[in-house]
Structure 1
Amino acid sequence: MSLLLLLLFSAQAMAQDLVSKNEIEELQLQAINDTAFTLRTVTEAGNLIKYSGTMPLRINGELQDASFTEGETVFSLAERAELVQVSANLGTHTLARLYQLNPEEQRGVEEFPMWLSILPPLIAIVLALIFREVLLALFAGIWVGGFVIYGLSAKSLFTGLLAVGDTFLMEALTDSDHVSVIIFSMLIGGMVAIISKNGGMAGVVNLLSRYAKSAKSSQLVTWVLGVAIFFDDYANTLIVGNTMRPVTDGHRVSREKLAYLVDSTAAPVAAIAFVTTWIGAELGYIKDAAVKLGIQEGAYSLFFHSLEYAYYPVLTLIFMLMLILMNRDYAAMHHAEVRARETGAVTAASLDRAGQQKQEQEMAEFEPIDATRTRAVNALLPVLTVIGGTLVGLLYTGYSPDVWADASIGFLRKLSITIGDSNSYTALIWASLGGVIVAIALTISQGIMRLSETMESLVVGFKTMLPAILILVLAWSLAAVTQELYTAEYLTSLLSGNVSPYFLPEITFFLAAAIAFSTGSSWGTMAILYPLMMPAAWYVCQQQGFSVEETMPIMYNVISVVLAGAVFGDHCSPISDTTILSSLASGCNHIDHVKTQLPYALTVALVCNLVCTNLSALGVHWALVYGIGAAILWGVIRVLGKKNEEAPVPATASVLD
């Protein structure tokens, strides 16, 4: 009887000691030494909660199952770190805490508010909104990050500033992949300048311009050219707009419509094509985030799969094509087209002289040195060299004899594995270098330019890429700061339990659109959001218990909508560089361009997010989603659009002629 009472008493005592993870209110860290720590589960008042059992912890980014006994567990770091970040999965929610080593504190560590980890990117976004300067905003974000990392003291304010140069920027510039992106971007910029100056690009444009015999066909040729000149949005905008302007003027197509066609083919095509000045940066952001998350799939493969969800760029191109073929427009664009068709006034008012001078200055570097020698082959061969060289380089660097010898794997799967395992940076450098060499050889061998002039054009091309490269370097530095502050873990702790993973693509799209609209920079938007939203999506899916197979479609979607939202915001923004260049190259009043393009961009964006993204979340196949989205856009044009009558005679004069 005594033994039974003793057992009952012991069982009651054990039951009292059993604590659910949901009862844990706080985590308390104590330093044993620089690399060993004790973690305790406590109440908000600091009283020990005697939890015993395993608990998933993410310690400085590393996921592990920690075994707690009486509310305590011990863990060690591989090396000393200034900051220790701990995230605990408590089932219904996540606790995320940030600590800094401080021997003067009683426990050897000092707890920082975890919201400080979001401060650097938040500062970057806010300053970009206020000053509309992405470079300044990114620099300030890095500085604030250094201030937090080094202790939030007066000294760390100065130390953080120095760390911008000697730590974060140096790390960004010494990363081999980052250097590869810089080299590739500069080489592509140089090639574009050479093939523009030697008349090759003008030759391609002239070749297609022969088919422009009416208002509809001239718009169609403009669309085809915009898609064909896919490798650089700046080159696309400046070359297509300036070259097609006389053609569309002759058929009474408004400058507003021309600017829309130029602007809305430039970034979408450059963003989703495989060989562009964008691809290096996109792959860089994707690869950096994927490596940190432990995703085995290669950056090129991730990008390729994300195209299944690239609704905005793809449907924008389809929407433009339907507008042209149906010969319909609506809202402000229809009024502009009616004005041009009926009166021959292709623009509402004369472009101011300052705008004309700026346009001429922009175009001077891209105009052929000899207008009588515009051979399309001088552009086609270098471009084909880049395309073919990239494909060969991807296959060569990713080739595995074991994969191709495996009879159980289909050809397309083998190709996907090969490209996924390839070194895309090496392939892009090989290809772009080959393109530059071919462009130089063609130019000099035909006597179009002397060697010195060709080299000058090459350097001009390098210079055109410098603003983008500066954004890249600062963006990589900010990404390193957010990694060291574990910003993604903090976002996860906010989102977990509150946001379904299926809503993350829509949230990401509108966030990207807001940033791009306010800053006018697609590249700056990608720089800020890729390092944040990819880890956030991954961790939120983990918290919801998703398998890797369930997580990856959401990850592909998030990768895609960062880009899509950036392009959409860029289209709507009056301060976007491509929007401004489109207005200038097309000879259109800038505000008129923004006002006429905005309804079209909003139409496509709403269909993509209210329909396409939700259908994807329901598991509808991507091909069917594209079809449904295109059908809805066709219906919108049919209902809202009004017919544009063909001009009975060509315009005899242009406002700018």
Structure 2
Amino acid sequence: MNNTWAILLPPVVVLIGTFITKRLNSSLCAGIILAALITTNWSALPAFKLSVFRLKEIVTDFDNIYTYCFLLIIGALVLFIERTGGANAFARIITRRITSTRSAQNSSLLISFSLFIDDYLNILTSSAVMRSITDQTGVPRAKLAYLIHSLSSPLVVLAPISSWTGMLITQFESAGISMDAHLNTKIYADPFLTYLSTIPYLFYSFALIMSVWLIVHYSYSFGPMKIHEDHARNTGNLFAGKEPQAAISDSTAGNLLDFVVPVCSLLIFVFMGIAYSGGYHLLGGTVGLVSSFKNNTQTPAILALSAGAAFALSCVRAWVAGTLTIADIKNIGKDGILLMYKTVVMLILASTLGLIFRLDLQAGTYLSNLIGPHISLHLLPVMFFLISCIISFITGTAWGTIALLAPIVIQLLIGLEHIATPTTIEHIPLLIPILGSLLSGSVCGNQLTPISDTTIMTCSGTGAYLTDHLITQAWYVLPVIIGSLCGFYITGLTYTSGYVLCALYGLTTTCIATWLCIVLINSISKGRTS
């Protein structure tokens, strides 16, 4: 395969196809076919064989199978918590004593923090519980939508055990990060520990959470959101003068144990499973706790088995307590699988396309040769934050964006720094910051786009108008984007100073720049509400 501009056609086709049809999986199929055709010089039969071969590689990999099982079981676990009303029971304990607008908003944030396990569960539960409470305290629906949406995906991506964990492990492994010594491995590292290493570099998520707290705590109000809050305070209309809009209802009271048992058991099983696999001395091994986490190589299997055990334990407890019948449990299991089925298919297709990109088209190598002479390494974190944000905005999916770009990022860095593979993360100090910028940009674009599942679900759950939510949220997210760009620029300048210092410099810069932007915009608009 000659290195030509045609290599860049498959991702362009995926983006355009998704934007026009709103069907990511169909667009990914088209991208796979086109990539295979380009690889085989437009020969139909060899292209078909290549596509099937790469797809088979993805779906027969045991780590991938375990990850897909984890995602399907997590879907069932999320539905269990939702349908039994466990999350509602927990949330209502938090919201017992609310007397003011600020306390209502703080309660919304606290509920979101508690539901870190999944963004869908977070949005649906927070919306159902907080709607009536914020209505009584005069919080406009656009503000409620902003609070809930801001602490869904941006928060969940920070949680080491969540519905995002399995996806990220799969994509990092498909991109060439693995502990297995085979030909596809580019970087010898554990994908789970690699994800954990990116968390300090998720500047957008940290800054967004900080900005939401500042806006609520200091009652900052500016831009279109000020119009909504003025209307709510002066007229009682929570829709800025528009007619009220219906929202999804959920009246399940629930039992607190139906929230505590699934979440706590999942965390305990995962923690113990990783420690046992890594040889923790209290569980029969010979090493300390930190070393056991480093030694662990069975994360996908542990996640799947832990999720299965947590789901089984939760169902048995609910059945014994009379909360669920056997038929209810079967329905939850079936619907949970259906909830995540399309996502798993998307991950399989995106991973297949990523594998062809990396191994057959050598897209990263081509890009490194193309842009290497024209771009400085220190600009790459900023560049990938912007690129991933744009792609996520267009496609409406953060997961698809990560799957599309992760293989290109890794191969591009290896090519730019002229490193022989397989190598280790220590030899590519810019890798973790750039992966952090990729995840940050993907979450940012997903939050801002009108076509993402979380955006639509937020508006449906809160009853906010879609246009109102997007416009009011954009003003509050803009300072975070500016702060993140500043942080990733500093990261690019300081990545050789070491992992800890680089993350500290970048995160500090991001938070300070975000805070200054918020204060400046608020001062200019002169908008403070009580």
Report the TM-score, using the length of structure 2 for normalisation.
0.90
CA separation of 1:389 and 1:582: change in aligned 2, threshold 3 A: same
| RMSD value, Cα | 2.4
Counterparts of residues 334-353 of structure 1 (less than 5 Å):
334-348=226-240, 349-350=242-243
1:148 matched to 2:38? The reply is yes
| AA of the residue aligned to 1:299 | P
Query: Are residue 130 (structure 1) and residue 20 (structure 2) matched?
Result: yes
Distance 1:223 1:375 in 2: 21
Q: Aligned residue for 2:104?
A: 218
Matched, 1:205 2:91: yes
Which whole-Å CA distance do the structure 1 matches of 2:173 and 2:188 have between them? Answer: 10
Which residue pairs with 1:85 in the alignment?
none
Aligned residues: 510
Say which is worse superposed, 631-640 or 307-316, in terms of deviation.
631-640
Residue correspondence of structure 1 range 99-178 to structure 2 within 5 A: 112-153=2-43, 156=44, 160-161=47-48, 164=51, 166-178=52-64
2:529 is the alignment partner of 1:645: yes
Counterpart CA distance in 2 for 1:496 and 1:637 is: 36
Pair 346,538 (structure 1): closer, same or farther in 2 beyond 3 Å: same
Deviations for 1:65-120, whole angstroms, at most 9, x for unmatched residues?
xxxxxxxxxxxxxxxxxxxxxxxxxxxxxxxxx3xxxxxxxxxxxxx353333332
2:460 counterpart of 1:584: yes
CA distance in 2, matches of 1:279, 1:384: 17
Structure 2 CA distance for partners of 1:375 and 1:488, relative to 1, 3 Å: same
How much has 1:293 moved relative to structure 2? 4.8
Taking the aligned partners of 1:259 and 1:489, their CA distance within structure 2 comes to: 42
Looking at structure 2, the residues matched to 127 and 350 of structure 1 have their Cα atoms a distance apart, in angstroms, of 36
Matches within 5 A, 1:245-324: 245-288=131-174, 289-291=176-178, 292-324=184-216
Cα drift, residue 284 of structure 1: 1.0
Question: Structure 2 stretches of 5 or more lacking a match?
Answer: 179-183
Contact 1:185 1:277 survives alignment (8 Å)? yes
User: Could you tell me which amino acid in structure 1 is paired with residue 144 of structure 2?
Assistant: L
Of 498, 507, 520, 1:626 maps to 507
- Give the partner amino acid of 1:481: I
Which structure's residues are more often helix, by fraction?
A: 2
**Residues 138, 351 of structure 1: alpha-carbon distance in 2 compared, 3 angstrom cutoff:** farther
| Alpha-carbon distance between aligned partners in 1 of 2:26 and 2:173, rounded to the nearest angstrom | 25
Q: Any residues of structure 2 matched to 1:188-587 within 5 Å, and which?
A: 188-288=74-174, 289-291=176-178, 292-348=184-240, 349-350=242-243, 356=246, 360=248, 367=250, 371-372=252-253, 374-399=254-279, 415=290, 418-419=293-294, 421-482=296-357, 483-542=359-418, 551-587=427-463
For the structure 1 residues 115 and 293, does the alpha-carbon distance in structure 2 shift closer, same or farther, using more than 3 Å as the test? Answer: farther
CA offset at residue 344 of structure 1?
A: 1.3
The one-letter code matched in structure 2 to 1:387 is L
Q: Which moved more, 1:616-625 or 1:564-573?
A: 616-625
Higher strand share: 1
Aligned amino acid, residue 516 of structure 2: G
Amino acid at match of 1:479: G
Q: CA deviation at 1:178?
A: 1.4
2:187–2:424 Cα contact (<8 Å) kept: no
Contact 1:299–1:420 (8 Å) recurs in 2? no
TM-aligned CA deviation for residue 566 of structure 1: 0.5
Matched-pair contact (CA < 8 Å) for 2:18–2:27: yes
Distance in 1 (CA, whole Å) between partners of 2:187 and 2:301 is: 21
| SS in structure 1 at match of 2:6 | helix
**What amino acid maps onto 1:469 in structure 2?**
V
Q: CA, structure 1 residues 259+469, in 2 after alignment: closer, same or farther (shift >3 Å)?
A: same
- In structure 2, the residue corresponding to 1:243 is in which secondary structure? helix
Query: Which residue of structure 2 aligns with residue 603 of structure 1?
Result: 479
Work out the percentage of aligned pairs sharing the same amino acid. Answer: 22
Query: What code does the residue aligned with 2:73 have?
Result: L
Q: How far off is 1:405 after superposition?
A: 5.8
The 2-side partners of 1:489 and 1:277 are apart by 32
Preserved CA contact (<8 Å) 1:237 1:581: yes
CA distance 1:540–1:190, shift in 2 (3 Å): same
Letter of the structure 1 residue corresponding to residue 6 of structure 2: L
Q: After superposition, what is the alpha-carbon deviation per residue over 1:247-267, rounded to whole angstroms, capped at 9, x for unaligned?
A: 111110111111011111000
Give 2:203's aligned amino acid: Y
Query: CA 1:558 to 1:624, structure 2 compared with 1: closer, same or farther past 3 Å?
Result: closer
Residue type of the partner of 1:227? F
- Structure-1 separation of matches of 2:194 and 2:292: 11
SS of the residue corresponding to residue 252 of structure 1 reads coil
Q: Name the CA distance, whole Å, in 2 between partners of 1:541 and 1:312.
A: 27
How far apart are the structure 2 equivalents of 1:525 and 1:379?
31
Q: Distance in 1 between matches of 2:502 and 2:337?
A: 42
**Contact 1:607/1:629 (CA < 8 Å) preserved in 2?**
yes
In 2, the alpha carbon distance for the partners of 1:423 and 1:489 equals: 31
Rg comparison, structure with higher value: 1
Give the 3-state SS of the residue equivalent to 2:239 in structure 1.
coil
The answer as to whether partners of 1:541 and 1:551 remain within 8 angstroms in 2 is: no
308-317 or 630-639, which deviates more: 630-639
> Residues 277, 341 of structure 1: CA spacing in aligned structure 2 closer, same or farther, 3 A cutoff?
same
Does the 8 Å contact 2:223/2:472 carry over to 1? yes
What is the TM-score when the length of structure 1 is the normalising length?
0.73
Cα distance change, pair 148–637 in 1 and its aligned pair in 2 (3 A):
closer
For 2:225 and 2:75, the matched residues in 1 are separated by 33
C-alpha distance in structure 2 between counterparts of 1:160 and 1:480, whole Å: 14
Report Cα offsets for 1:417-459 as digits up to 9, x if no partner: 6346331101101210121012201211111121111211221
State the Cα distance separating 1:627 from its structure 2 match. 3.2
User: Structure 2 vs 1, CA of residues 126 and 537 (structure 1 numbering), >3 Å: closer, same or farther?
Assistant: farther
**Following the alignment from structure 1 to structure 2, what is the Cα–Cα distance between the partners of residues 129 and 326?**
39
Per-residue deviation at 1:171? 2.6
Q: What is the deviation of 1:150?
A: 3.1
d(CA) in 1 for partners of 2:195, 2:171: 11
Alpha-carbon distance in 2 for matches of 1:518, 1:351: 30
491-500 vs 504-513, greater mean Cα deviation: 491-500
Give the corresponding residue for 2:181: none
CA distance in 2, matches of 1:173, 1:310: 29
| 1:173–1:586 Cα change, 3 Å | same
Alignment of 1:47-62 (within 5 A): none
Change (3 A) 1:293 1:558: farther
Q: Distance in 2 between matches of 1:286 and 1:397?
A: 21
Per-residue deviation at 1:636? 2.6
Alignment of 1:173-188 (within 5 A): 173-188=59-74
Q: 1:137 to 1:633 in 2, by over 3 A?
A: same
In the aligned structure 2, how far is the partner of 1:391 from the partner of 1:627? 30
Q: Measure how far apart 1:205 and its partner are.
A: 0.9
* Structure 1 unmatched runs, 5+: 1-97, 99-111, 647-657
Deviations 1:580-603 (A, max 9, x none): 111110110011000011122222
Change (3 A) 1:163 1:497: closer
Q: AA paired with 1:415?
A: V
The verdict on how the C-alpha distance between 1:438 and 1:282 changes in structure 2, with shifts beyond 3 A counting, is same
